[in-house]
Amino acid sequence: MKLRDIGKAVKELRIAKKMTQQELIEKADLSRSQLYYIEAGKRTPQLPTLQSICTALEISLLDLVEHASGQT
Question: How many folded domains does the chain comprise?
Answer: 1
CA distance 12 to 6: 10
Tens-digit pLDDT profile for residues 30-50: 999 999 999 999 998 999 999
Question: What is the pLDDT, as a whole number, of residue 51?
Answer: 98
Per-residue pLDDT of the chain (72 residues; tens, 9 = 90+): 676 899 999 999 999 999 999 999 999 999 999 999 999 999 989 999 999 999 999 999 999 999 999 865
For the chain, where are the E strands, in sequence order? none
What CATH number is attached to the domain comprising 37? 1.10.260.40
Q: Which pTM was predicted?
A: 0.91
CB 9, CB 67: distance < 8 Å: yes
